[in-house]
Amino acid sequence: MSETALSVQDLRIELTSGEAVVEGVSFSLAPGRVLGLVGESGSGKTTTALALLGYTHPGVRVVGGTISVAGQAVTGRRESAVRTLRGRLVSYVPQDPASALNPSVRVGDQIGHMVRTHAPERDVDTEVTRALELVQLPTSTTFRRRFPHQLSGGQQQRVAIAAALVCRPSVAVLDEPTTGLDVVTQSRLLAELEPLRRELKLAIVYVSHDLAVVASIADEIAVMYAGRVVEQGPAATVLREPRHPYTRGLLTSVPDPHEPRHLRSIPGVAVGVGERPAGCAFAPRCPQRTAICETEAPPLEPVGDTRHVACFEWSRTPSLSVEARVPGALIGRETAPLLEVERLRAEHKGRDGTVLAACDVSFAVAGGECVALVGESGSGKTTIARCVAGLHPPADGRILLDGAPLAPLAGRRALAARRRIQIVFQNPNDSLNPRHRVAEAIARPARVLRGLSRRQADDEVRTLLERVRLPGRLAQRFPGELSGGERQRVAIARALAAAPDLIVCDEITSALDVSVQAAVLEVLEALRAQLGLALLFITHDLGVVASVADRVLVLDRGFVCEEGAVGPLLEAPDHEYTQRLVAAAPTLRA
């Protein structure tokens, strides 16, 4: 086996128009080592990762530099030759397993197809069994005959990993493979990678925007911004003492369940391709910029024995500091709760019978308070949220607003009650009409639920965009023209247009970059302070819980197994299930 599993030298990737997407990227990786490739959306990390397989999206091309895997060149070859390397020498696991698994092919056949294509000399049944064992999935015929839709999200992701590793490649590229998973499933998958790389001497490029996850797995970290590597070095050193101001900004945006903190987002927005300034691309957002930063791009230079940093002013980067958060500081003084949920029971009915989603759930939310519902996928937290919003009828129990019972469905509730409780979904596309401009999306609730005139609603749009820290020019854009973080903030503005007393937030930050997530959470914290807004926050991310919630309810298969103030509960959980969740939560302390 080559001493270098992966070598990338001076990689440059351009649009066909000639604008650089990735430039000057170099790194190498030894067998059995893990490189964390991190950065915000648009930083070029996924484009770089795909190039390791000799692949680029339409309209993008590799124009410079070299890539080699286990001593074999990937660049400079015809597509037919590169195709023979994929799966055999280098493999890829995408963020969404649905994009890697054929929904009409049984999982055993999908893994076996990789063997028949890339290693026809091997026994297919033996290799499929070994691959399933590696990722701790059943090897039975019954399991192999299942289709992807018959598996959980975690099982689908492990099947995708098994298919990627069945031919024993030298390098595996994992692109955000745990983003949509709950903390326990995520922890299990990350734990399974350790014996894989040790047993197979597998080199891993782990692409992620979540530095807490990267901290638990990576040996080295390369931080990318605007298509360039801006800091690179041993993971522990980079996470403990960041030298580039962008790396430091990412770390101050990361929530940590073991250290409740006020998150601080990076000012401004990441520059896109074609918008990059002449000098340092980070200069418009950098508190340390000087005149030279605006005219010259800093080279990636050694800082000490193991670190490289692309910053003229790296020595001025402040040490990391954490501003501790005190939960409960924003709760209103009134004693009567705003929302009460009493002995709620919720069910889902299907062809195979009735499934219990929530049973005997009771809690209250005061004005200005944030109550979090946490648990693994299938714990019932989203169903409870939909019951509160009037989108799912409870089978039993009551939901009260200011002591008055609410009708089960929103359509039967009084207009005032519908106005006072709003919901923001995990995917803003669920609440934003792609054919309506941002201004119309925000103005409609103001007109329908508050009776504002068109002129008043237009004024409200400008105010709300400013409140969620978006420029007024976005009002005339369609949702498809916005980034994920911008769309989510528009969805929050749309909910605020009704002037609600309570917003139900259903996994609203799970798919966002950490810096955008921090900005969204900062907005919600400010709104709680300014408006006395109450939040019912549904999430599987205990770091976010520590940064935003005052009280927590932990749900296990529809039952509340533990509840209490966020600090004591996360610091010393009593219930075994909560202990497992807390232990599985990623932390920068790793």
Say whether 499 sits in a helix, a strand or coil.
Answer: coil
Residue 326 pLDDT greater than 80, yes or no: no
pLDDT tens for residues 215-246?
989 999 999 999 999 999 999 999 999 999 99
pLDDT given at position 189: 79
The pLDDT value recorded for residue 364 is: 96
Tokens of 18: 């000639």
Backbone angles phi, psi at 395, to 5 degrees: -80, -25
Question: Mean pLDDT, the chain, as a whole number?
Answer: 90
Looking at residue 332, its pLDDT comes to: 53
Confidence of residue 369 (pLDDT cuts 50, 70, 90): very high
Mean pLDDT along residues 18-33: 94
> Which amino acid makes up residue 273?
V
Per-residue pLDDT, 402: 94
What integer pLDDT is reported at residue 335 of this predicted model? 61
Degrees, nearest 5: CA angle 465-510-242? 90
Strand order in the sheet with 34-38: 90-93, 171-175, 203-208, 34-38, 220-225, 228-234, 307-309, 301-303
For 175-188, the pLDDT digits (tens) are 888 776 778 878 88
List the helix and strand counts (H, then E) for the chain: 19, 22
What share of the chain has pLDDT > 90, as a percent?
Answer: 63
Hey, what domains does the chain have and what are their CATH numbers?
6-89+169-316 (3.40.50.300), 98-168 (no CATH), 339-584 (3.40.50.300)
For 429-439, the pLDDT digits (tens) are 777 999 999 99
Higher pLDDT residue, 506 or 512?
506
The pLDDT value recorded for residue 331 is 65
Give tens-digit pLDDT for 347-361. 998 777 888 999 999
Position 134 confidence tier, pLDDT thresholds 50, 70, 90: confident
Q: How confident is the model at residue 334 (pLDDT cuts 50, 70, 90)?
A: low
Res 435: pLDDT: 94
Predicted confidence at residue 1, as pLDDT, reads 45
The pLDDT of residue 261 is: 86
pLDDT band (50, 70, 90) for residue 341: very high
Q: Indicate if the pLDDT at residue 24 is higher than 90.
A: yes
